[in-house]
Amino acid sequence: MLIHVVQSGDTLWALADHYSVTIQQIVAANGLSVLDTLVIGQALVIPTSDHYHAVEEGESIWQIAKRYGTTPEALVQANQLTNVDLIQIGAKLILPSEDRPSKEVNAYLTNLGRAGQSMIEQVGNDLTYLSPFSYEVKNDGSLKGLNDLQVLTIARSTKVAPLMSITNVDTHGFNSEIAHVILNNLSVQAILINNLLSTLAAKGYRGLNVDFEYVPSEDRERYNYFLQQLVNHLRPQGYLVSSAIAPKLSSKQRGLLYEAHDYLIHGQLLDFVVLMTYEWGWAGGPPMAIAPLNMVKRVLDYAVTVIPRNKIMIGIALYARDWTLPYVKGGPNARTFSPQYAIQLAARYHTSIQYDQLSQSPFFRYTDENGLKHEVWFEDARSMQAKFNLVKDYNLRGISYWVLPALFSQVWLVQETSFDVIRL
């Protein structure tokens, strides 16, 4: 696989001819139609078995390495280059064949209907775990269940291990009071743990993922105690226990989202954690990258000091956001949709896609039929490759997608090029 950024004059026919692949291969890898208009700045993955790259005018070793998801050092070594500034145009560079590391991959699934079932049938081979979202915990220790039997059947048929996801969510979203009651009432906590054990066994789940958010800061130690009780009761039965935790930059970070999430204790007690490294560009905030690489790195720089690297999975967003400009605090939320729809939107309004180097994220601006200006941030093959490289650079356990189903075909080829997926 290589990543091609569309330039003026590019067509599917020309690209297929240039890279010696078929139009249908490009279309399938990127979720396109043969009738789709290519957008200047759009990233396309090109499936190729070629082990060489012919140097083009103006290309640097760094640019070539980035296209193929490798490093300049690996290219230099594979080609025994002594001066990277004197590469001749047309020279054929050997592309290094790197051993892919084996990583675990989780995906949260919110649509348990036919769309979600079809997605698991398509991408099950690219997943270690599937986390249907979510069983909602109630104040009395009972659970609001899920109609998940069909999804679980498909997951098992594709050899994906299902994880039971529990949240402190009600009809209005994450509820701090629900978490407070559960964590401070041991009799309710015992009822909840019994209900979890019953559901895990009845549904055939492989483990538990706890996603308690906006937990009151005064309940930090109670949350740690609850996790210890889960481990004490579930691990002897062979279940994995994991959590989803907010993206903290330090142990002293303030805010309701962060303070009760004790990275050190989660890392000591649990089998693994999912760092929710996304939502900097949230729907109610100003336009910006949803998961900027520079911020993800800052979270990791702290996390690896207190959590074993082999227990860390980074969260990866599979969606786009569209903000109406000018941004007004308290105004309408940004629209959320798939990365492929973002490309269609750029094509419809005849705009070009830009790429922010600091955040390693694509974006574009357009003006709609009513004269309103918009700014769209999304993910593409380049931003995915950058995040997958982080997983390898930091030697982490793996990745966790939020959220399936997602119209984002190219992510799977980029993943398959980067990792071998661990299957349980």
Which residue numbers are catalytic? 213
Phi/psi for 186 (5° steps) reads -65, -30
Choose among 131, 316, 315, 118: nearest CA to 206: 131
Residues 6 or more apart whose CB falls under 8 angstroms from that of 171 comprise: none
Burial class (CB within 10 angstroms; exposed 0-12, middle 13-18, buried 19+) of 184:
middle
Choose among 341, 334, 307, 339: nearest CA to 320: 339
Evaluate whether 379 touches 339 at the Cβ level (below 8 Å): yes
Residues 6 or more apart whose CB falls under 8 angstroms from that of 132 comprise: 108, 109, 112, 146, 148, 151, 152, 162, 164, 165
| Dist. CA 21–CA 19, nearest whole Å | 6
Q: How many other CB atoms sit within 10 Å of the CB of residue 24?
A: 12
| Dist. CA 120–CA 158, nearest whole Å | 8
| Dist. CA 290–CA 256, nearest whole Å | 20
